[in-house]
Amino acid sequence: MNTQSFTIAQAAAKLGVSTRTIRRYIKAGKLRADLVNGPFGEEYRIRELPEDLKKLEPIETSTALDKHDPFAGASQDAMAVLRDLQDKNLTLAAQLGAATERIRQLESQLKPKTITDGQPPKTPWWQKWYLGLRSLFSSKTKPAPQDEPPAFEGSSETVKPSA
């Protein structure tokens, strides 16, 4: 038996177990520890490390619900009904998977097709408006109208504004 005190990490390293195991032992009362003020707040100090601590059986973490078998007292008829329901469940799950895959296939076929009867979709008004504004502000000079020839610099001809 040692008489010096150990932190949880030191005790875990000395015994070859994890710090969580040491905390479980303290909580279960299998290991005695004192709560003292440390540099970063309260911490556990273990004064004695029993030699037989490694031989302690692991703490049982299962609950009563884990141990309870719901089918322990079931009759043969109940088990047959259960098996039948499980088979039906598997069959329905397979059908659902096949139907889901078929829906995906149909959706992928529908996406490329448009509902415009073969005609290209019309350009929305806001796209036309935006493109018109963009072309006005992006060019520094105003483009010449298409039906009149462009006027050259130094030319005596004047272009009449259209009303």
Domain spanning 1-50, CATH architecture: Orthogonal Bundle (1.10)
Q: Of 9-13, 76-80, 113-117, where does mean pLDDT reach its minimum?
A: 113-117
- Of 14, 7, 46, whose CA–CA distance to 30 is shortest? 46
Confidence of residue 97 (pLDDT cuts 50, 70, 90): very high
Binning pLDDT at 50, 70 and 90, where does residue 1 land?
very low
**In this predicted model, what pLDDT tens digit does every residue of 146-160 receive, in sequence order?**
555 555 555 555 556
Alpha helices per DSSP H over 3-75: 8-15, 19-28, 64-67
- The CA-based angle 4-5-11, given to 5 degrees, is 110
- This prediction has a pTM of 0.33
What pLDDT sits at residue 2? 44
Strand 41-45 with 34-38, pairing:
antiparallel
